[in-house]
Amino acid sequence: MDQQQLRNFEARCIQEEQPFCTAACPIHIDVRPFMACIAKGDMRGARRVLDRTMPFADIVGRICDQSCRTACKRREIDSPLAIGSLERYCVSTVPAVIKPPKLPGKGGSVAVIGSGLSAMTAALDLARKGRNSLILTCDEAIGGTLRTYAEELLPAQALATAVETLDFYGVSIQFGCSLTNEFFQTIRQDHDAVFLDRDCADLHGLAVDCAHPDPFTLGIGREGCFAGGGCLENSYSVIKQVEDGRRAALTIERYLQKVSLTAQREREGACPTRMYTVTAGIQSQQEVLPADQQTGFTAAEAVQEAARCIQCQCMECVKECTSLQEFHDYPKQLVRKIYNNEAIVQGTRSANRMINSCSLCGQCQVVCPNDIPVADVCLASRRNMVEKSTMPPSAHDFPLQDMEFSQSDFFAMTRHQPGSDSSRFLFYPGCQLAGSAPQAVEQTYLHLTQQLSGGVGLMFGCCGIPAHWAGRQELFAKTMQDFLFEIEEMGNPIIITACSSCYSIFKEFTPNLSLSSLWQILEDIDLPEQRGLIPQQPMAIYDPCTARHEPEIRDSVRRLTKKLGFSIEEHPVSGELADCCGYGGLMQFANPELGGKTARKKGQRSVHDGLAYCSMCRDNLASSGKRIAHLLDYLFPSADPEDPTLRRNPGFSRRHENRARLKQRLLTTLWHEESDMTPEYKKNELFITPLIMELLNSRHILEDDIQKVIFQAEQTGRRLVDPESGHFLASYKPVRVTYWVEYEPGMQGFIIHNAYSHRMSLPGDVK
Amino acid sequence: MSNFSFIAETDWRCACCNKNLQASKVNVEYMGSVFNVELMVCPDCGFVLIPEDLALGKMLQVEQLLEDK
Amino acid sequence: MSLLCHGHTASLLCEQKELQRMTGDTLRPGGLELTNRAMQFCNLPAHSTVLDVGCGYGQTMALLSAQFGLHVMGLDPAESMLRKTAELLPASLIFQADAAAIPVRSNFFDALIAECVLSLLADMQASLEEMHRVLVQGGRLVLTDIYARKENFLPGVPQSGIHSCFNGAVSIDTIRECLQAAGFTILLLEDHTRFLRQLAGQIIFSFGSLEAFWQLFMGVDKAATTCGSIANAKPGYYLLIAAKE
């Protein structure tokens, strides 16, 4: 990722945009934390928020005309927050908490003519920036129009506090000035800049046109002179006075620093925001009105009203994604972390775990108002890590070994239909379905050969998606190349995939091949005669994340379930919004806990039993405790009468075994080829209790690994023994991981008592 | 000084040499870093016992420390 | 008194024998491997005059003198350490002084080396300016130290009875700014967090856990807090070589 791409991605994430109220406020009061503080009864905290941005909060907080209120998102639900009344409550009950710092004096003197709120604000802001500022007014007290407010609305004490504040920051005030042209000339000559507050009756006598200041800089076409504030069209807006005073102070500061008066000021004053907040589903709650209009809110009423604030933010993607939640990230932070991670030439890359925990499922991009491709960013970063050899070795070792197994002779094979030497179709069930439900694969294949003419070939293998997800581009490219070669050898048949992951891979990387999903094919041919019992109760379809962009496949599945007589209840997070089951992006290997959490979340999307058409979804959700079946379980039921929603996840070892046995069985029964692929070390019979099997699965230890340990130990005699129990303990390191197995020789084989592994090397490791 | 040790009486004996295991300093290695650990080892053939709690505990902790996983 | 970590109220981590046991006498992650790397990069002519700021027991001084033929002097505020240093290097000039007040004239040394020292200094900026003063024009400053990898990390959060470089770890950006302000140009900056991790790994194997290690110096609760603070700062280790402009 280069800096340009980073900026581009960052700009597309709008989570850090201002909320609607703050954007609409000309001085951008941070309304969200203000409301959050009041809602939890922290009135001092609320006052602190105001003190940070609001000049003369004792005045403005009481009488602000709250242009923010119309922008409040809550109006879409019921009624906007009473922001003004809450500010009034806050400043009436809590005195100032913080005084913003005064910067050291840096010269430059500014005369402020008039003493209305914009004059006060300009003088205060400039004094805080370290400029000498002087208020010159014909009045005998400051405030201008403010002085006409009723005591109940704006107590005289608030103005007295303002005078103290101005004094604290070193603003001097000259009362009773007579604003003649001559006086103005002298003032202009004695100061570097002048601001004229139009909330001052005597300005009319001056030969200076203050009526039409530039809206951006408040310049009035005279060197160093600026004007603002006052009544506009006979209406006096408090916040407009503050805005003009603040804008004038910023202009004058730029003027004194001799920099551009206009550059990068778009965010000053009320401005648009790209914030995106979904209000659907938020409970309606009527506005809290003070019981006594005269005295305003009580503390309890203020807390209750402020609690209505929905704290507008986007977080659309984070709301759904376990991975973004886990790392407390929204995409803007995520891309920054990834960028920083890549920039580290040598050293700790703390974002590795986060990058490898993404399921690459693309759900976030669908819900994002700006389509930020988080999955693409994470995948690109994984490729980058692989290229630079910074990928943690343990992240994807296990699934890549699984892939290697599926591509080895133990499973991989390609054949024309028995008795045929050409194929119009080629059934590609995929490695996981073959591992999970081998008998369904076999029956599906037989059914296809009976129903389709022109020859249906069969191909076992792995589509390479683990390598793709792991960022292993070379390995993946080789897989694709080999696959293309095989397909060409077969005479370019129409490929029928059962797994939507395989489908997505072939569609993206071998676009010239003819491709169809099993579900589209099954929809058009006769249903098998021997079908399973279709449940009466409703079931929820669980779309896999890899069918997100395949509406035709999803529709085929639904039509097929209808044809079969299912009663389907859709849940809202399906279709193109579907969650990942934890397998996507190899999440469950890089971050097993998160994988489990992700599967549970997906399972909980519906209270009904699930119906999946991806075997990884089926197995992972089953592991998470969800009652869920695979659609093929009903089309091609097994001889075992067990309820298919209760079928257990076979686990990693059993999947290997299932694939290898399926291949051998089909070669024998359909193609009459004799083969015994069993290597020497696999010939020992193992006895493993379900409890130990579960342990092995959770520790990613295969029966195959155990066979190797025992074979090696028995061959060399290198092992430990516990004389008491007669158990042996041996270790072996086939590649990178050292496996330890505690076992006991039995009558027909070996009883397995425990197994564990580590990656650290010992002296004299047996390889 | 530390009173921590991985050394613990063990019932495992070396089946090959028919010897009890003894405490010994062993260098273990991962991703280019070498650590010196005291472990139970067969005095004759040098077979090193990595008990389950070490493999899944401290050793895993250090592996992950080094891996940035 | 900046290098000395307020000795009457707190003790210095690197003076603890537990740490010596693991790092040899170099008292820092990476040991002499990083020193070698730095010296190869600097490629100083033989007999160049070099000051080891915070020389500890003199392991680096011995290496620089024996392997690279340099004329080495040492400086450390800790008297107890210097006694052992003097035994190891009887012919070397060793100052008991503070890095913010180096007792030599300006433009004197060809190179300074400060290994795992900067973060211990009470006033890093003043000390860097002092180092700048005693270096010749174009002279080299070699720094290895802990830094806080977490962005926007504010130092000084962990408050424990023991003073270690973790207390003063700041971000690389801060170090960069301080160096520039003192008049240095950075020639090389490398991350060597691996060494820190190796040390952490060895601590786990030797003491059972990082917490158990800190418990040797402080109470159980404080050890837990210290571990948390250190984890929060995400400490890294760097090698930096700068030149006096």
A656 and A512 within one domain: yes
Q: Which of A337, A339, A341, A346 to mutate to test the interface with C (most CBs of C within 10 A)?
A: A346
Of the partner residues B4, B6, B35, the one whose CB lies closest to the CB of residue C202: B35
User: 3-state SS string over A130-151?
Assistant: CCEEEEECCCCCCEHHHHHCCC
| A459 shares its domain with A333 | no
CB-based contact A123:A163 (threshold 8 Å): no
Is the pLDDT higher at C119 or at A90?
A90
Domain count, chain A: 6
Helix, strand, coil percent content, chain B, rounded in steps of 5:
20, 35, 45
Are C190 and A348 a contacting pair at CB < 8 A?
no
Q: Which helix (H) or strand (E) holds A308?
A: none
**Chain A residues closer than 8 Å to B59 by CB:** 758, 760
Q: What is the percentage of chain A residues whose pLDDT exceeds 90?
A: 79
In terms of DSSP bridges, do strands A539-542 and A609-612 run parallel, antiparallel, or are they unpaired? Answer: parallel
The beta-carbon neighbor of A348 closest among C151, C190, C193 is: C193
Per-run averaged pLDDT (10 residues), chain C, 245 residues? 29 58 62 85 90 90 91 88 83 85 90 90 90 95 86 46 62 87 87 82 81 69 68 77 90
Per-residue burial over C199-232, b if 16 or more Cβ lie within 10 Å, else e, is: bbbbbbbbbbbbbbbbbbbeeeebbebbbebbee
- Distance (Å, whole) CA C14 – CA C22: 11
User: Residue C188: left (phi > 0), alpha (psi -120 to 50), or beta?
Assistant: beta
In a domain, A287, yes or no: no
Q: List the one residue out of A699, A705, A703, A750 whose CA is nearest residue A732.
A: A705
Residue-wise pLDDT for A730-750, tens only, equals: 999 887 889 999 999 988 899
* Cα–Cα distance measured from residue B60 to residue B54, given in angstroms and rounded to the nearest whole number: 8
Residue C150's pLDDT is 64
Tell me if residue A129 falls in helix, strand or coil: coil
Average pLDDT over residues A546-555: 97
**Residue A88 covered by a domain:** yes
Q: In terms of residues, how long is chain A?
A: 767
Which residues of B touch chain A, with CB atoms under 8 Å apart?
11-16, 21, 26-31, 45-50, 52, 55-56, 59-60, 62-63, 67-69
Of B1, B37, B66, the CB nearest to C197: B66
C112, β-bridge pairs: C51, C141
Residue A277: inside a domain, yes or no?
no
Q: How confident is the model at residue A473 (pLDDT cuts 50, 70, 90)?
A: very high
The pTM assigned to this predicted structure is 0.71
Nearest residue on chain C to A344, judged by CA atoms? C191
Question: What residues contact A730, with CB distance under 8 A and at least 6 apart?
Answer: A709, A710, A712, A713, A718, A719, A720, A740, A741, A743
Nearest neighbour of A757 by CB, restricted to B46, B55, B62: B55
Residue to test with chain B: of A586, A738, A758, most B Cβ within 10 A? A758
Q: What is the pLDDT of residue A375?
A: 96
Query: Can you list the alpha helix ranges (DSSP code H) found in chain C?
Result: 17-23, 31-42, 59-68, 79-88, 124-134, 172-182, 193-207, 210-215, 220-233
Chain-chain contact of B33 with C198 (C-beta, under 8 angstroms): yes
CA–CA separation, A231 and A380 (whole Å): 57
pLDDT at A620: 97
φ and ψ of A5, to 5 deg: -65, -40
The predicted structure's pLDDT at residue B4: 62
pLDDT, tens digit, 9 for 90 and up, residues A376-386: 999 999 999 99
**Residue C42 and residue A302: Cα distance in Å, rounded?**
67
Structure-token match 């806990």, residue found: A593
- Quick check: A763 and B27 CB within 8 A? yes
Interface contact A350-C191, CB threshold 8 A: no
Joined tokens for residue A499: 């797994």
Distance spanning both ends of chain B, measured CA to CA: 32
Distance separating alpha carbons of residues A134 and A113, to the nearest angstrom: 8
| Smallest Cα distance from C181 to chain A, Å | 21
Per-residue pLDDT, C208: 79
Per-residue pLDDT of A192-229, as tens digits, reads 999 999 998 777 778 888 888 999 999 999 999 999 99
> Is A281 a domain residue?
no
CA B60 to chain centre: 12
The answer to whether A635 and A445 are in contact (CB under 8 A) is no
Do residue A365 and residue A461 come from a single domain? Answer: no
Q: Which of B1, B37, B66 sits opposite C205 (nearest CB)?
A: B37
Chains contacting B with at least 3 CB pairs below 8 Å? A, C
Give dist(CA C37, CA C113) in Å, integer: 12
Name the strand (E) or helix (H) holding A749. strand A749-758
Same domain? For A375 and A494 the reply is no
Which uninterrupted H or E stretch holds A275?
none
Local structure of A654: helix, strand or coil? helix
B15-38 CB burial, b ≥16 within 10 A, e <16: bbeeeebeeeebebebbebebebe
Q: What is the CATH number of the domain that holds A744?
A: 3.30.2310
How many angstroms away from the CA of B12 is the closest CA of chain C? 22
Check residue A423 and give its pLDDT: 97
* DSSP count for chain B of H helices, then E strands: 2, 5
If DSSP codes are grouped into helix, strand and coil, which group holds residue A254? helix
DSSP A691-742: HHHHHHHHTT--HHHHHHHHHHHHHH---EE-TTT--EEEEE-SSS-EEEEE
Q: For position C165, what pLDDT does the model report?
A: 56
Same domain, A118 and A80: no
Q: Is A760 on the interface with B (CB under 8 A)?
A: yes
- Chain B closest CA to C203's CA: distance in Å? 9
pLDDT at C158: 43
Confidence of residue B66 (pLDDT cuts 50, 70, 90): confident
Co-location of A67 and A158 in the same domain: no
Query: Which of residues A387, A413, A448 is at a domain's end?
Result: A387
Q: What are the tens digits of pLDDT across the range A488-532?
A: 999 999 999 999 999 999 999 999 999 999 999 999 999 998 888
Provide, as residue numbers in chain B, all residues whose Cβ is less than 8 Å from the Cβ of A349.
68
Chain Cα centroid distance, residue A647: 33
A636-679 pLDDT per residue, tens: 988 776 788 988 888 888 899 899 989 999 998 999 987 767 78
Q: Let me know: does A720 contact B20? Beta carbons within 8 Å.
A: no
Residue contact A740–B60, C-beta within 8 A:
no
In a domain, A2, yes or no: no
**How many CA atoms, within 13 angstroms, populate the side-chain half-sphere of residue A24?**
16
**A758 vs C contacts (CB less than 8 Å):** none
Across the interface, whether the CB atoms of A721 and B12 are under 8 A apart is answered: yes
Domains and CATH numbers, chain C: 11-244 (3.40.50.150)
Q: What is the model's pLDDT at position A606?
A: 95
- pLDDT at position C26 is 56
The C-alpha R_g of chain C, in whole angstroms, comes to: 17
- Is A151 contained in some domain? yes
Q: Which 3 state secondary structure label does DSSP give A88?
A: helix
**Residue A724 sits at the chain B interface (C-beta within 8 Å):** yes
Cα–Cα distance, A21 to A31 (Å, whole number) = 7
Give A7-27 pLDDT, tens digit per residue.
899 999 999 999 999 999 999
Residues 6+ apart with CB under 8 A from A123: A110, A112, A133, A134, A135, A166, A171, A245
- CATH code, A246: 3.50.50.60
Q: Do B58 and C204 touch (CB under 8 A)?
A: yes
| A34: β partners | none
Smallest Cβ–Cβ distance between B69 and the set A394, A760, A763 belongs to A394
The pairing of strands A456-460 and A425-428 is parallel
User: CB-based contacts of A543: which residues, under 8 Å, 6+ apart?
Assistant: A554, A557, A574, A575, A578, A613
Nearest CA in chain B to A760: B30
Do both A89 and A64 map to the same domain? Answer: yes
Distance CA A313, CA C168 (A): 37
Residue pair C186/C176 in contact (Cβ under 8 Å)? The answer is yes
Report the distance separating Cα A469 and Cα A462, nearest Å: 13
**Structure tokens given for C27:** 């008292």
Which 3 state secondary structure label does DSSP give B31? Answer: coil
- Residue among B12, B13, B69 minimizing CB distance to A395: B69
| B63 vs A contacts (CB less than 8 Å) | 394, 758-760
Structural domains in chain B, CATH included, are 13-67 (3.10.20)
**C-alpha dihedral sign at C40, C45, C47, C49:** negative
Contact across the interface for B50 and A757, Cβ inside 8 Å:
no
- Both A489 and A555 in one domain: the answer is no
Is residue A57 domain-shared with residue A136, that is, in the same domain? no
Q: Which residues of A touch B26 (CB under 8 A)?
A: 762-763
- Cα separation, C227 vs C207, in Å, equals 14
Q: Whose CA is closest to C52, among C68, C67, C71, C66?
A: C71
| Cβ within 8 Å of residue A638, ≥6 positions away | A437, A439, A440
Please, which chains are in contact with A (at least 3 CB pairs closer than 8 A)?
B, C
Its domain, for residue A350, covers 316-387
Q: What is the mean pLDDT of chain A?
A: 93
From the list A350, A716, A756, the residue facing B52 with the nearest CB is: A756
Which pLDDT score is estimated for B68? 67
C69 vs C91: CA distance, rounded Å = 14
Specify the DSSP class assigned to residue A657: H
Chain B residues in contact with C202 by the CB 8 A cut-off are 35-36
> Which positions in chain B have a beta carbon within 8 angstroms of at least one beta carbon in chain C?
1-2, 4, 6, 32-33, 35-37, 58, 61-62, 65-66
Residues A552 and A613 in one domain: yes
C153: part of which helix (H) or strand (E)?
A: none
- Residue reference for tokens 């041996």: A730
Q: Is A248 inside a domain boundary?
A: yes
Q: Which of C152, C193, C204, C238 should be substituted to probe chain A, the one whose Cβ sees the most A Cβ atoms within 10 Å?
A: C193
Q: Which residues pair with A721 in a beta bridge?
A: A728, B13
Cβ of A756 under 8 Å from any chain B Cβ? yes
On whether both A472 and A551 belong to a single domain, the answer is: no
Residue A10 belongs to some domain of the structure: no
Q: Which of A170, A88, A94 is nearest to A125 (CA)?
A: A170
Q: Do residues A207 and A74 both lie within one domain?
A: no
Q: To the nearest 5 percent, what fractions of chain A are helix, strand and coil?
A: 45, 10, 45
Closest by CA position to A496, among listed A517, A513, A514, A524: A517
